[in-house]
Amino acid sequence: METIATRLAILPFPEIDPVIFTIGPLAIHWYGLAYVAGILIGWFYARRIVQNTALWRNGTPAFNLTQLDDFLLWVAAGIVLGGRIGYILFYDLSSVLQNPIRAIEIWNGGMSFHGGLLGTTLAMIIFARRNAIAVWSLFDVVAAVVPIGLFFGRIANFINGELWGRLSSMPWAIVFPTGGPFPRHPSQLYEAALEGILLLLVLAYFVYRRKALKVPGLVCGIFVCGYAASRIFVEFFREPDAQIGYLAGGWLTMGMVLSLPMALAGIWAIARARRAAATA
């Protein structure tokens, strides 16, 4: 029997076309714009951090603006290639093996944050070694700005009506066009708030108030722990990928499994940073 509370829980999905506009055969999608916006705004914020000498040990940034600008292409490649390859390996390998052309069909699936993180990490390590940059300091600056990209990415997921949440009767639940006739948690917005806005503010506090960049690796460790905790929490409200489902117990998801090692790595990075600072 439908109740007033149930009726109030059903909110219409906002009718936003995933395609912003088209130019001939070229279609500009919100998803692509989210990646561009995240990278460019993150780059601008990173420049501000590097320029602020008061944030760095002995007033000397670990790298200069020219090196940061050169790194922009590297990080873009790491995000896109790592994100797509990670999605295939972690979430869609069987489908790609059956139909290899699916590997480049980004609209059938998408990107994996964990894969993008691995791709970006590899890009940072190689770039740092080639340019004689302290790799932990590069990690810190990139970590401080990543939540910007996460925010835009999750908003794009919401506009696309993908990666929606589990069934819900909460007043803010939404009926997604591809999610059946029942209201669901808008888990994309939960992630945008936690992984994006909240994590960005926490990291900014440590960068500007606690001068955490003077302890190389600390900001990176806080980011990794913060993301892992946020992702594991939201996974309790997010519908698992249909081709994988729950891994165990009707609640354990691939997102949780991939985030747990991140949390442990983040704790290790924080401990390593503090030990290094104590002996410096």
Q: Which residues are annotated as a binding site?
A: 154
Instruction: Using DSSP, state whether 252 is helix, strand or coil.
Output: strand
Cα angle for residues 140, 257, 86 (degrees, 5° grid): 65
Q: At what angle do helices 65-91 and 30-51 cross, to 10 degrees?
A: 140
Q: At what angle do helices 218-235 and 254-279 cross, to 10 degrees?
A: 160
Q: 């909110």: which residue's tokens? A: 11
Could you give the CA distance from residue 127 to residue 66 in angstroms, rounded to a whole number?
13
Could you give the CA distance from residue 237 to residue 240 in angstroms, rounded to a whole number?
9
Q: 């029942």: which residue's tokens? A: 182
Check: CB of residue 185 under 8 Å from CB of residue 168: yes
Burial class (CB in 10 A: 0-12, 13-18, 19+), 279: exposed
Check: CB of residue 276 under 8 Å from CB of residue 266: no
Which amino acid is it at 30?
W
DSSP letter for 209, please: I
Tokens standing for residue 178 = 């591809």
CB contact set of 55 (below 8 Å; sequence gap of 6+): 49, 207, 208, 211, 213, 214
Q: What is the dihedral of CA 37, 41, 62, 202, to 10 degrees?
A: -110
